[in-house]
Structure 1
Amino acid sequence: MPNKDGHRRFGNIRKLPSGRFQIRYPGPDGRMHTGSTTYPTRTDADRALTLIEAQMISGDWTDPDRGKVLLGDYARTWLKERPGLRPKTKELYSWLLERHLIPGLGGVAVGKLTTPLIRSWRAGLIDKGVSVSTTAKAYRLLRAVLMTAVEEDKLIARNPCRIRGADNEHTQERPVLTVTQVFELADRMADRRFKALVLLATFASLRWGEVTALRRNNIDLEARTVDVREQLIELDGGEMRLGPLKSRAGRRRVSIPAVIIPVLTEHLAAYVAQPDDAFVFLGKRGAFLRGGNFRREAKWAEALKEMGVPGLHFHDLRHTGNTLAAQSGASLADLKARMGHDSDRAALIYQHATRDADQRIADALSARVEAEQKKIAKG
C-alpha cells in the first residue's frame, strides 16, 4: 500500500508509453522482478502488488520466471530424476510422455498451463480415438509432474490438473469364468506344463508376472500355500527382468485350495528342477516364460474359441479368482491381503459386485415365489 508520500513501501508502479501500468518488486531472492503482465489502471497494478506481497508473507509466492520452462523439458527431466521407478513403469511413463503429453502440451511453459487448456488437451486425445484408460494414465502422469513443480520446485503456485473424474479409467467389465470353465480351460492347454499355471493363477489370484516368477521353494504343498516375493517383467524391447513387486502388500502368502494340489505335485515332479530356487514355470528351452510364447505353445486363442470365451485375457484368471474369493464371504481385509493391494478400492469393487449379484438372486427368488403364489391363488 502507498505511504503518506504516495510511494509504496513494497514494489513500484510505472506508466508505460502505451498507457498501461507495469509493476516491479523485490523477491525473496533479493532480485527485482518485473510483473509478467501489465495492467490497464494504476489501481489494478496496486492490487497486484498487494497480492504478491501477501503471497510472499504466507510463503505461497512463486517466481514467475521459473515457470517459463517448457513442460516437455521439465517432464523429461522429471522422469530422468526418478531412478527408483520400476522398469515397466518408467517405460510406460516415457511412452505416455512422448506419445500423448509432449505433442499436445510440451511446447507450453509450465507457468502458462491452465485447467481449461488441460481440459482441451484431454478432450483432444479422446477425439483422436485414444482410449479412456490411456487418457486417464496420461492425465495422472501430467498431474504427478506438475505436483512436483508445485511442491518441490516451486515453479507454480497450484496444480492446474483439477478436472474431476479425469483420472478414472472406467475400464469395461471383464469376463468371469465359472469354476467348471477354469478346469476346462486348464485341460485344454495344448502343452500340459500350463495346466498348473492356469489353475494356480486363478485360485491364488496371481498376476502373470507373479506366477511366472515363482520358484520351487515358494510353493508349500503340505501347508497349501504360495509365497509371492517377486515378479518377472517383460520390457517392450524384449528384455526379461526379475524385479520387486508393485507394493509392500504385494509380498504375501496365499492359501491355495486342496483340489489343485495333485496337479501342482505332478507339475513339480515332471517339469521343475530340484534346486529350491528353480523356477516353476519356464519356456520349453528352459528360459523365462514370455507371454507370447505361452499363448502360442498353449494354443490359448484356440482353447478360448472352442469354449466360447474368445475375449478372455490371462489377467481375467486373477479377476475370476478375486470374484470367487469375494463370493465366499471373505472380508475386505482378507481380500486386500489375498490380492496384494494396499488400498481398499480394488477389494471393494469385488465386494460390491458380490452384493449386487446376491441382490439379483434375492429378487429372482422373490419373483419366483410371487409367481408360484399366483398359480396357487388361481387354482
Structure 2
Amino acid sequence: MGARGPKKGKGMRRFGSVRQYRSGRWTASYLDPTGLRQRAPETFETKADAEVWLSQIEADITRKDWRNPDAGAVNFEEYATKWVAERGVASLTEELYVRLLRLHVLPTFGELDLDEITPPRVREWRTERLATTSAATTVAKSYRLLKAILETAVDDELIRRNPCRIRGAGKEVSKSGQVASVEQVDALADAVGIRWRLMVYLGAYGPMRPEEQAELRRKDVDVDNATITVRKAAPELATGQRAEGPTKSEAGKRVVVLPQFLRIDLKRHLDWYAEKGPDGLLFVGEKGAPFRRSTFGRKWKRARAKVGMPSDFRFYDLRHTGHTLSTRSGATLKDTMVRAGQSTEKAALIYQHSDHERQKEVAGGLDRMVQAAREKAREQSQKGAGGAEVVRDA
C-alpha cells in the first residue's frame, strides 16, 4: 500500500485550494488573516463540498466573523478560575462563585475545552442538576454563572456563540418573603435576648441587612435624632472571617431614620453592650468578640421556635416585614428603596430621590403604626385578664 497523502486533482482557486487524496476524498486549506495556513478539520466526499466549505470561510473573513479554529481549545476550568479572579467582586460574591463552580459546574465542564461546551451538553447538565439537587434556585445561580463566563469567552473571540440558550433558565423563582406582625417582631426581640434585641428591631424597622449591622460603630448612632448611618458592611465568609468592605451597592450607604420608640433601645444598647470609643462596634458577643453569624444563628433559631414562628422564617424576612409595614404606613416604593438601601439600574431611571425629610415622615408613620399595634395588643391582653378575673370571682 502506498502513502495516503494527496495524489492528484490539485485545484487552485481565488481563495484557498483543494486537493484529492488517493482514497478519493478531498481536503481544503487556506491562508488565514494572520498568514498561517489552516486546513479543514475533516475531509469531503466531493470537490464541490470542499469548495463550498472554502466559500463559507471566505465569507466569514470578509464579514470579519472569522475565528481561529484553535481559539476555543482553552480548558474551561482554567478559564473560569481566571474569570473569577479578574471580576474584582466582593468577598462574599467571590466565595459564592467558587462554591458554585466547585459543586455544580466543574464536575461536568471542568475537563472540557471552551469550544467543546455545546447547547445539548448545557441542557443535559441543567436537567441532571435539577433532578439530582432539587434546588432550583441554586441551579439557576449556577446557570447564570456558566452563561456569564461563556459570554466573556465570546467577547474574547474564543468561541463564536454562547451555548447557554435556555430561555428563563437563569431566573430564580423563590417564594415571597414572609411578613411578621408587630407583636411577633416584639416577641422575637424579647426571645433572642436583651443583648441582641436591637438587632431584631433594626432588621425590621431599619430595615438593615445583618452584614450592615455587623459593621455598625458607636459613632454611627445618633440617639437624639434616632438615626443610624450605614457606611460599610462586614459579611461573614464560610471560613468564619469577617470580610469588611463596602455596602452591597452605593445605595447601601445611607442615613436610616428610625421610629422614635427605638430611642430607648438605642440608648440602652450603647450604655450596656457597645464597644467603647467612637469606632467601637455596636454589636459584640458576650465575650467581646465581633458579631458572628453562626453564633447569632443559633440564638435566632431558638427564639423563632419559642415564639412559634415557621422554621423557614429567616432573619432576612424581617427586611420584608419592614418594607411591608412602611408601605402600609404611607411610604412609596421609592421611599422604601432608599430606606432599605436598594438600587438597580432600572430603579435609578424610574425612581426619584427620597430626601431626609421624607424619610423622617416615613419613620413617623411607622412609629405611629407600631405604637398603635402595641396599644391594641395591650388592650386585648387586659380584656382577657379581666375576663379571667370575673370567672374566678364567680
Distance in 1 separating the partners of 2:160 and 2:207: 43
Residue aligning to 2:27: 22
Residue aligning to 2:74: 69
- Residue 33 of structure 1 and its aligned partner are, at CA, apart by 1.6
Is the CA contact 2:26–2:44 (under 8 Å) kept in the aligned structure 1?
A: yes
Distance in 1 separating the partners of 2:246 and 2:43: 53
Distance in 1 separating the partners of 2:257 and 2:293: 25
Alignment counterpart, residue 60 of structure 2, candidates 40, 43, 55: 55
Distance in 2 separating the partners of 1:18 and 1:289: 75
Is the CA contact 1:70–1:106 (under 8 Å) kept in the aligned structure 2?
A: yes
Is the CA contact 1:226–1:255 (under 8 Å) kept in the aligned structure 2?
A: yes
Aligned positions of 1:211-222 closer than 5 A: 211-222=213-224
Structure 2 unaligned blocks of 5 or more: 1-10, 349-394
Task: Compute the TM-score of the two structures, normalised by the length of structure 2.
Answer: 0.79
Is the CA contact 2:226–2:262 (under 8 Å) kept in the aligned structure 1?
A: no
Kindly report structure 1 stretches of 4+ aligned residues shifted beyond 6 Å: 344-347
Is the CA contact 1:336–1:343 (under 8 Å) kept in the aligned structure 2?
A: no
AA matched with 1:117: R
Decide whether aligned partners of structure 1 residues 36 and 179 sit closer, same or farther in structure 2, where only a CA change above 3 A counts.
Answer: farther
Secondary structure, aligned partner of 1:14: strand
Q: Percent identity?
A: 40
Larger radius of gyration: 2
Is the CA contact 2:326–2:336 (under 8 Å) kept in the aligned structure 1?
A: yes
- Residue 20 of structure 1 and its aligned partner are, at CA, apart by 4.1
Is the CA contact 2:105–2:142 (under 8 Å) kept in the aligned structure 1?
A: yes
AA matched with 1:271: Y
AA matched with 1:92: L
Residue aligning to 1:126: 130
* CA offset digits 1:313-370 (Å, max 9, x no partner): 11111122122233344333333322323227799xxxxxxxxxxxxxxxxxxxxxxx
Distance in 2 separating the partners of 1:21 and 1:326: 73
Decide whether aligned partners of structure 1 residues 303 and 9 sit closer, same or farther in structure 2, where only a CA change above 3 A counts.
Answer: same
- Residue 203 of structure 1 and its aligned partner are, at CA, apart by 0.8
Is the CA contact 1:224–1:255 (under 8 Å) kept in the aligned structure 2?
A: yes
Is the CA contact 1:68–1:111 (under 8 Å) kept in the aligned structure 2?
A: yes
Secondary structure, aligned partner of 1:241: coil
Alignment counterpart, residue 224 of structure 1, candidates 223, 226, 237: 226
Aligned positions of 1:136-215 closer than 5 A: 136-151=140-155, 153-189=156-192, 191-215=193-217
Distance in 2 separating the partners of 1:204 and 1:342: 16
Residue aligning to 1:340: 341
Decide whether aligned partners of structure 1 residues 34 and 311 sit closer, same or farther in structure 2, where only a CA change above 3 A counts.
Answer: same
Decide whether aligned partners of structure 1 residues 342 and 56 sit closer, same or farther in structure 2, where only a CA change above 3 A counts.
Answer: farther
AA matched with 2:102: E
Is the CA contact 2:275–2:284 (under 8 Å) kept in the aligned structure 1?
A: no
Residue aligning to 2:6: none
Distance in 2 separating the partners of 1:39 and 1:224: 79
Task: Single out whichever of 110-119 and 304-313 deviates more from structure 2.
Answer: 304-313
Aligned positions of 1:359-370 closer than 5 A: none
AA matched with 1:313: R
Aligned residues: 338
Decide whether aligned partners of structure 1 residues 346 and 261 sit closer, same or farther in structure 2, where only a CA change above 3 A counts.
Answer: farther
* CA offset digits 1:39-61 (Å, max 9, x no partner): 44433433332332232233322
Residue aligning to 2:93: 89
